[in-house]
Amino acid sequence: TYSKSKKIFFITIFFLIIAVYLVILDFTFAKSNSSISRIILWATAYDMIVRDLPHTLFGYGVTEAITLFRNEKFFFGSMEDVPDPHNTLLLFSIQFGVIFTFLIFLIVILNYIKIFFIRKKDYYIRNKLKIFLCISITVGLSVQNMMENILAYPEHFVMAFYFIFLGCLFNVDSLKTENG
């Protein structure tokens, strides 16, 4: 928006600040008990991850991790009927271990780094809006899944949606031959 119209950009920033003040702060204060319960869920997941070396490295498995998490969260004081830690990285770490989680995180980060270094190329400039769309969707879903974990469940459409746009970013070099 800034490159198109500075006036619209500053008006958008102004309304965004008002929205943060009026909506998000009120929502946060109204849901303070939810924030504490999420911290308890994260503490439970963290404890499960660092409990011993084999489970730290390789996890507990897909179904066993959820079953164990449901039992463990009561020891930390969580009485909610929540089956997982509401954080994709923590859920992947208790299910598959930190090796898998680190490798997935590394692949995604290296993908963004590759995009950063090709931003001056001609094919990147011609397809800038498509690439920005892919970056916006994947980064937005990644950030959202630090407080939720709909990305971690393949039965939801979000995982496929995320991987489609991440794959488009991964194959952005194919635009070089496609567009000349």
pLDDT tens for the 180 residues of the chain, in order: 667 788 888 888 888 888 777 776 665 665 555 677 888 888 999 999 999 999 999 999 988 998 999 888 888 887 777 888 888 899 999 999 999 999 999 999 999 998 888 878 887 788 888 889 999 999 999 988 888 888 877 777 888 889 899 998 888 877 666 544
> Rounded CA gap, 127 and 121, in Å?
10
CB–CB of 69/83 below 8 Å?
Answer: yes
pLDDT, residue 150, reads 82
pLDDT, residue 59, reads 92
- Say which amino acid occupies 108: V
pLDDT, residue 13, reads 87
pLDDT, residue 103, reads 95
**Predicted structure pTM score:** 0.73
